Amino acid sequence: MVLNTSKMAKIKIWLGISLVLLGLLIIVSRPDNKPRIIFCDVGQGDGMILMQGSWQLLVDTGPENGKMGICLGKYLPFWDKKLEAVIITHGDSDHAGGLKQIEKSYQLNKRCIQVIYVKMIDWYIRRYKLRC
């Protein structure tokens, strides 16, 4: 099958447009370096994401209903499937029930199960890096 010049030109144009759109998608979805605290609606229970740049800390996962995974998918870049840490404040199912589902979709670097009282996010991040 031989492509004529006009078909080849159309293919090149569509390929160029596709590459430009892919580049824009990657640029737009890059995380900024601002610290963020995101409280996720997980139904009955708790779930929170602390993030700065490409660093994420998940505090509690809520119950086993898939809502924490939806929240992570909404706020994390689509290519980032690694969580630097997960802290489960206590083992009740409304705080830790979704952990198994999260482990299926994301690589977890560290896990800590403990009760922590947070006064300042900067202090918390420093303490976490040293302790867990």
**Residues 71-122: tens digit of each pLDDT:** 999 988 888 888 888 888 877 888 888 888 888 889 888 766 554 444 444 5
CA-closest candidate to residue 128, choices 84, 97, 92, 96: 84
Is residue 21 located within the same domain as residue 67? no
Domain of residue 81 covers 36-131
- CA gap 70, 72 in Å, rounded: 5
| Phi, psi for 39 (deg, rounded to 5) | -95, 120
Q: What is the pLDDT of residues 42-75, one digit of tens each?
A: 888 778 999 888 888 899 888 889 899 999 999 8
Based on its alpha-carbon atoms, the radius of gyration of the chain, rounded to whole angstroms, reads: 20
Query: What does DSSP assign to residue 48?
Result: E
According to DSSP, the residues that pair with 101 across neighbouring strands are: none
Is residue 105 located within the same domain as residue 119? yes
Is residue 72 located within the same domain as residue 22? no
Q: 92 in helix, strand or coil?
A: coil
